[in-house]
Amino acid sequence: DDRIEHECQCQRSVTMSLQQISITPGPILPFKLSDIGEGIMEVTVKEWYVKEGDKVSQFDSICEVQSDKASVTITSRYDGVIKKLYYEVDATALVGTPLVDIETESGPEVAHEEDVVETPAMSHDEHTHQEIKGHKTQATPAVRRLAMENNIKLSEVVGTGRDGRILKEDILNFLSKQTGAILPLTPFHEIQPPLPTASAPSSVVKPKAKPPPSVPLPAISRPVFSGMDSTEPLKGFHKAMVKTMTAALKIPHFGYCDEVNLTRLVQLRKELKGLSDARGVKLSYMPFFIKAASLGLLRFPILNASVDEAVQNITYKASHNIGLAMDTSQGLLVPNVKNVQMLSVFEIAVELNRMQTLGATGQLGTADLTGGTFTLSNIGSIGGTYAKPVILPPEVAIGALGKIQVLPRFNSRDEVVKAHIMNVSWSADHRIIDGATMARFSNLWRDYLENPASMVLDLK
């Protein structure tokens, strides 16, 4: 019996020791922001997916950061508990500095690693998830940012999207229910003086009537304006735009404008639009503009080139990576379609659909925003006819497309007909491109669009 009791005591002692070891917390490791590449030295923290005290596993999303080139989702390298967040939302984080402290699980396998796993920002059909009170709330980063700016807990919002996903409209409806309708101010009613009463006829001469007492004007309370100016630092894409445009000021721009008759192209697109819609792709005019530019660059390769800072060497680019200036909620972005010289018009349309969807949700990656060799700006989608586009270094040329207008024009028989006219404005680096070259390229580009069937001869 003594032997059995002794063995039981030993077993209990071992069990307690194992339990103490299992609950012993591991070391607290600083989780540093490593080099993202592209020469980026700082980023802006746009959204935290965790808070202090949250438990995370490897590859769980920690936060979303934005550089001057793209948005990046940072994921965890460790299993453990978040002990400290080093930055607030919209704060600037430097490469090599800690983002969070993580209390890792104890064990010899935990090593002090400084690298951060970076993954490109999620596409439009991917969504982040947040554990709230035992269930997952689904919402895109843009919706989460809207909720955060208005101090709304996502757990209190009822999602109307698929699988309970919270949409932007759900946040706006929730806000309207919280704030209520704004009642209009009560209109001011002017006080009218009393009408004079008719006096009874009398033969007696009446004394001169005294004027009625004047009615005092009501005091009108004027609203007191309490607004204040605000100052904020330039960040992200706006900061990159300052850098790019400052460099562009050093380039002597040569401008050239022309008009293009798109009547035949309008008819061709009308015929092809049904086929494209059946394939699930929206077909605009831009794929034709981009493909025609690529065919023109084959004849005038100097427009698809770059020069070094000392302007001593010209590099002719083999790939036609044609950028499209895009107006987004984050500012001006210029993603580019890679290797246009190898793509059909339909394949270009597919790529544009993808980039426009990502641009609308702020999810364009670094690969889409870098490596451009030539740019077109579709400013006409907003309005206007002519523009003065600014070259994006190290490129040497850019075109701005005006809106398509229905205007009267003379045909070959001197008859006035209805025509679809678009104005185009080109800018070229006059240090290496002369006016004649720009004009000849523009003429060739215009011919392809005015006679779209001619592109078939040069398509590859």
The parts of the chain modelled with pLDDT lower than 70 are 1-25, 35-39, 106-137, 141-142, 162-163, 179-214
Contact, 57 vs 80, CB < 8 A? no
Who contacts 424 (Cβ-Cβ below 8 Å, separation ≥6)? 257, 258, 259, 260, 399, 400, 401, 402, 442, 445, 446
Q: Catalytic site residue 163?
A: no
Q: Which uninterrupted H or E stretch holds 449? A: helix 435-450
Question: Amino acid letter at 360?
Answer: A
- Distance, in Å, from the CA atom of 427 to the CA atom of 397, rounded to the nearest integer, reads 6
Domains within the chain, CATH numbers bracketed? 28-103 (2.40.50.100), 252-458 (3.30.559.10)
The distance between the two most distant Cα atoms of the chain, rounded to a whole number of Å, is: 142
Of 381, 373, 387, 384, nearest in space to 356 by CA: 381
- pLDDT attached to residue 406: 93
Residues in a beta bridge with 416: 410
- pLDDT attached to residue 439: 97
- pLDDT attached to residue 188: 39
Catalytic residue among 54, 124, 430, 458: 430
- pLDDT attached to residue 20: 47
Per-residue tokens: 379: 């400013």
Query: Cis before residue 394, ω within 30 degrees of 0?
Result: yes
- Distance, in Å, from the CA atom of 249 to the CA atom of 86, rounded to the nearest integer, reads 38
- Distance, in Å, from the CA atom of 254 to the CA atom of 257, rounded to the nearest integer, reads 10
Edge-to-edge strand order for the sheet containing 25-32? Answer: 25-32, 98-105, 80-85, 55-56
What is the DSSP secondary-structure string of 173-184? HHHHHHH---PP
pLDDT tens track for 112-150: 444 443 444 443 333 334 433 344 567 776 677 788 878
What is the DSSP secondary-structure string of 400-437? EEEEEEEEEEE-TTS-EEEEEEEEEEEEEETTT--HHH
Phi, psi of 286 (to 5 degrees): -60, -40
Of 323, 320, 395, 397, nearest in space to 359 by CA: 323
What angle, 0 to 180 degrees and rounded to 10, lies between the N-to-C axes of helices 345-360 and 286-299? 120
Residues comprising the chain, all counted: 460
Q: What is the DSSP letter of 166?
A: B
Q: Catalytic site residue 434?
A: yes
